[in-house]
Structure 1
Amino acid sequence: MTDVDFVIVGAGSAGCVLADRLTASGRYSVMLLEAGGSDLNFWIWMPIGYGKAFYDPRINWMYMSEPDPGTGGRRSYWPRGKVLGGSSSINAMVYIRGQHQDFEDWKAMGNPGWGWDDVLPYFRKAETNDAGADEWRGGDGPLHVATMARDLHPLCQTYLKAGEELGLRRNPDFNGADQEGVGLYQNTARNGFRMSTARAYLRPAMKRKNLRVVTHAHATRILFQGSRATGVEYICRGERRTVTAAREVIVSAGAVNSPQLLQLSGIGPAHLLADKGVEVRHHLAGVGRNLQDHLGLDYLYRSRVPTLNQQLRPLYGKLWYGLRYVLTRRGPLSLGVNQGGGFIRTRPELTRPNMQLFFSPVSYTKAPPGKRPLMSPDPFPGFLLGIQPTRPTSRGYLEIRSSNPFEAPAIHPNYLSTNADLQEMLEGAAFMRALAAMPAFQDVIDAEIKPGPDVTSTQDLVADIRSRAGTVFHPVGTCRMGPDRAHGVVDQRLRVHGVAGLRVVDASIFPTLTSGNTNAPAIMVGEKGADMILADHATDGSPAR
């Protein structure tokens, strides 16, 4: 048994931030438990390599959802990082904070201290933006955010021109004064390498004597004395071990694994726990509920001009661009495939954007669910337009199947379970066709491949959406932050309701989905959570270890 001040479960987007910030002063000792292994993997560090990481069980939980009525009874593939850096080590690296109003919504839901003015300092604290610091962007944080313009495919300019022809304005920074418009994405990368939280935060922190990182450590349950969390039991290389937390246990295992661990530890809906043979320690109905995720849809076009397909498909292209990347960290392998993007309103009466856009100068017509074989695109020139409604109203849930901590939970996304969500998908589909009809795109489009020009009726469009729409890998909300213990799991300081010495600090605490990719706000939660923890323990009078 080991005794430390803080135990953190999960070395992901928030967990690595916590490990760094809680050990920086040297005052507190921390043990960080990670079920996966090292992030020193070529396919993790090379930006376009995430196509490989998506299906590698050594670094990926590779979850599957339950059959979902909203998507025609299909099961969704949910890759989740099982490695240092968590999903920040296997994601597509797009850096989006969300709309200012997203966080005002959080505050209005009974979470003081989480409005836009409250969270902006933590976004800035985390970041070094290579375009420079300003009132919105950070300039000296651990997380480097890269502008990709120098290596973008020329078709990105065609995309931007088509957007302007449709009446959209160019937005030079989706993370600046406002989010609306079309523009180019920034990635979490530096010098041609992925910038995960393992690289940004954890690697420097691992040099400190007061931080111990244990990999291949699968947490099986939280330990208690009465109503107080006192440690964690975990399995490491076949051996059962325990660690005692003198101050707090912090669960940062993500939107799937955090509620799973709480339920396995007896915290959750009492009827579920009793049914699965878990002793009920604290009834908390919201654990595993409020599941939200972005659902996306792509339209695929055959192009009259070359795309990345012609660069990456041939063997000589793989060799040439592979060599260029190794020697210079430049070229298409140094980027993600989501190069152009935007945020738009599909109805003029809306007060804020409700749709995120994606433009990828590459296409895949035979990719398996949840996978883009990035180095094996179509043999013909093609590109993708994509949309995702930013704030879905559908709510799902997840729950343990048994008391076995190694059995994956049952994930019920409940996609498109509201009319509002289906209507927004139809509006997004109409927008993609309107954008493709602009002169700039008509000069380069040869044909619409998917869903195809014959899919025009509302009935056929709905059928296409239900058969092809898929997760954009942004699950949140399963340990919801909120004051109401009937639905919330943590309070505004991320303390689990009714349990002492236990917090959840990761994307599972989001009350609602943010408008865009979720890695940046998950890192912000890590930064803000660390400050809260340090502040709470700076005045408690107990000695540090």
Structure 2
Amino acid sequence: MQEFDYVIVGAGSAGSVLANRLSADGHHRVLLLEAGGSDRSFWVQVPIGYGKVYYDARVNWKYTTEPDPNRNGQRSYWPRGKVLGGSSSINAMVYVRGHPTDYAEWGAVAPGWDWQDVAPVFRRMEDWAGGADDLRGAGGPLPVYDVGRDVHPLTRTYLEAAGQAGFPTNPDYNGADMEGATLYQITTKGGRRASTARCYLRPAMKRANLKVQTHAHVTRVLFQGRRAVGVEYVHKGLTRQARTRGEVILSGGAINSPQLLQLSGIGPAAVLQHHGITVLHEAPHVGRNLSDHLGADALYRARVPSLNQDLRPALGKLLAGMRYVLTRKGPLSLSLNQGGGFVRVMEGATRPDLQLYFSPVSYTRAPVGTRPLMNPDPFPGFLLGFNPCKPTSTGYLQICSPDPMVPPEMHTNYLDTEYDRAVMLAGFRLIRKIAQTPALAAVIEDEIMPGWHVESDEDLADSIREKSWTVFHQCGTCRMGSDPSQSVVDARLRVHGIAGLRVADASVFPTIPSGNTNAPAIMVGERASDLILEDTRT
């Protein structure tokens, strides 16, 4: 058994960053434990390959939630990365910093996390294809690609339609102003996915003071009194321990980090005692404040070719594959959601409250529990979708067994507030408005799902309950804050009431950001490394 200065649990979006930054000076011995395996899979590296790994247990935790009464008792499927790079290795790669007011909310409960604190961190981590300026960064470890020259012609039609609906095109939603229709920036380089495994971890793996252990499922944190001194994990069927003279840092994500805390005796006392786990520290908010973006979309049959004609036929797949292999260009080098934007839809809104998505390819979403190939539809079509930026409904998760190999219960609680139901309805009416502009109406043959006949508020609300879907942005389950009675970690990400233990991943978000959550999760990894090294020096 070896002893390390830092033991990091989870090689995901934040954990890979921490492994790089904490080992950079060569003075600290760092162990990184990852339950999954290598990210070297072809379909992990190919940007559009996330459709292939969507149900792949080799790289994916494949979580399924409990039935949600607000959605007619339906379960949600939540893919989460179980691989080097975590969910940054299997996500849609859209890069969104968030709105400055998101971080004003964070800073209000956790000093040091306001926009002026995190904006320089975003800037230093970026290698933005548009070049550095006062707001954007270049030369950082994380490539951010501008897809402008590569998008499908239908995506340009969408931008024209959004303009006709009153939303002009924003050339950089991560710049001075978030609002407007846009082409999404993605984390790729040279036509390959730029996960944190590729950008942060692999360069650091050459260092002698960093050890990375894959297929290591951490089962509990070890303590001496109320101080974390290591972890226990299972590797190749054997139970092992890793000890630290410094800190244990949980970076398992919004599901795994609170689960591991509860398994280790930190969480709601009644839940732990029910499963025979000794309560080390009662922390009722571990697993609470579960936030996510809930989306909905409309499927349109098009009068003109879409990416369906390139990606469904065998010959089209062959040609797209050859183009990608030879040039690293073409549809395989991009995300499915090429366009979108951030707009205001609710009366009196002072900031974007709705995120839009446009995909020039369509596919029918399969029920939870099935294994779709995510094959494009056999007709030309596209998807126009949305999600509220700041949903107010929150769920919770908790262990349902003392066995660490059993997934926790995940209760989504979507659509639980009047605001969330109202903004979803307003969002659907908005995408209908965009679809009926001259630009898109000229290329639409029919609305297949839900169909033009679904028109009344009641019918649309029924459709939303039945057809809405997660946008895979789970966060908030170990939220940070200065008040221990309302949070799990403090502003320096230290678990309240416990020494030598921090959490650094999307679970610490006090509130959900306005856009995709991967960039903020990477930022948390960067900011956490600053805080840890500052505390080490003092």
| 1:444 paired residue number | 443
| 1:342 paired residue number | 341
- Superposed displacement of residue 482, structure 1: 0.8
CA distance in 2, matches of 1:223, 1:365: 46
SS, match of residue 531 in structure 1: helix
- Superposed displacement of residue 375, structure 1: 6.6
SS, match of residue 151 in structure 1: coil
| 1:92 paired residue number | 92
Structure 1 stretch displaced more, 484-493 or 59-68: 484-493
CA distance in 2, matches of 1:99, 1:430: 24
Give the conservation status (yes or no) of the 8 Å contact 1:51–1:371: no
| 2:217 paired residue number | 218
- Superposed displacement of residue 126, structure 1: 0.9
1:353 aligns with 2:355: no
| 2:30 paired residue number | 30
4+ aligned runs moved over 4 Å, structure 1: 368-375
1:50 aligns with 2:55: no
| 1:236 paired residue number | 235
- Superposed displacement of residue 174, structure 1: 1.1
Letter in 2 for 1:505: A
SS, match of residue 149 in structure 2: helix
Letter in 2 for 1:277: G
CA distance in 2, matches of 1:396, 1:30: 34
| 1:275 paired residue number | 274
1:196-345 correspondence to structure 2 within 5 Å:
196-345=195-344
SS, match of residue 155 in structure 2: helix
- Superposed displacement of residue 486, structure 1: 1.6
| 1:542 paired residue number | none
CA distance in 1, matches of 2:168, 2:458: 32
| 2:7 paired residue number | 7
Listed one character per residue, the Cα deviations across residues 350-391 of structure 1 (whole Å, up to 9, x for unaligned) are 100100000000111254449996772011000000000011
| 1:513 paired residue number | 512
| 2:134 paired residue number | 135
| 1:430 paired residue number | 429
SS, match of residue 351 in structure 1: coil
Unaligned runs of 5+ in 1: 540-545
| 1:543 paired residue number | none
CA distance in 2, matches of 1:285, 1:511: 15
Give the conservation status (yes or no) of the 8 Å contact 1:312–1:375: no
CA distance in 2, matches of 1:382, 1:152: 15
User: How many residue pairs are counted as aligned between the two chains?
Assistant: 538
Letter in 2 for 1:74: Q
SS, match of residue 395 in structure 1: coil
CA distance in 2, matches of 1:77, 1:461: 23
CA distance in 1, matches of 2:410, 2:306: 37
CA distance in 2, matches of 1:397, 1:483: 21
Give the conservation status (yes or no) of the 8 Å contact 2:75–2:368: no
CA distance in 1, matches of 2:173, 2:284: 36
% identity of equivalent residues = 62
| 1:401 paired residue number | 400
CA distance in 1, matches of 2:276, 2:187: 42
CA distance in 2, matches of 1:510, 1:458: 33
Letter in 1 for 2:239: R
| 2:414 paired residue number | 415
Listed one character per residue, the Cα deviations across residues 406-425 of structure 1 (whole Å, up to 9, x for unaligned) are 00000001000111101000
- Superposed displacement of residue 348, structure 1: 4.3
Give the conservation status (yes or no) of the 8 Å contact 2:479–2:488: yes
Listed one character per residue, the Cα deviations across residues 224-257 of structure 1 (whole Å, up to 9, x for unaligned) are 0001000000000101100111000000000000
Give the conservation status (yes or no) of the 8 Å contact 2:55–2:371: no
CA distance in 2, matches of 1:371, 1:9: 31
Change (3 A) 1:485 1:167: same
Listed one character per residue, the Cα deviations across residues 239-279 of structure 1 (whole Å, up to 9, x for unaligned) are 11001110000000000000000000000011110001111
1:11-160 correspondence to structure 2 within 5 Å:
11-108=11-108, 110-160=109-159
Alignment RMSD = 1.1
CA distance in 1, matches of 2:29, 2:220: 21
Change (3 A) 1:288 1:18: same
SS, match of residue 53 in structure 1: coil
CA distance in 1, matches of 2:526, 2:434: 39
CA distance in 1, matches of 2:165, 2:463: 25
Give the conservation status (yes or no) of the 8 Å contact 1:78–1:370: no
CA distance in 2, matches of 1:227, 1:195: 39
Give the conservation status (yes or no) of the 8 Å contact 2:9–2:15: yes
Give the conservation status (yes or no) of the 8 Å contact 1:49–1:374: no
1:193 aligns with 2:185: no
Give the conservation status (yes or no) of the 8 Å contact 1:51–1:373: no
1:364 aligns with 2:363: yes
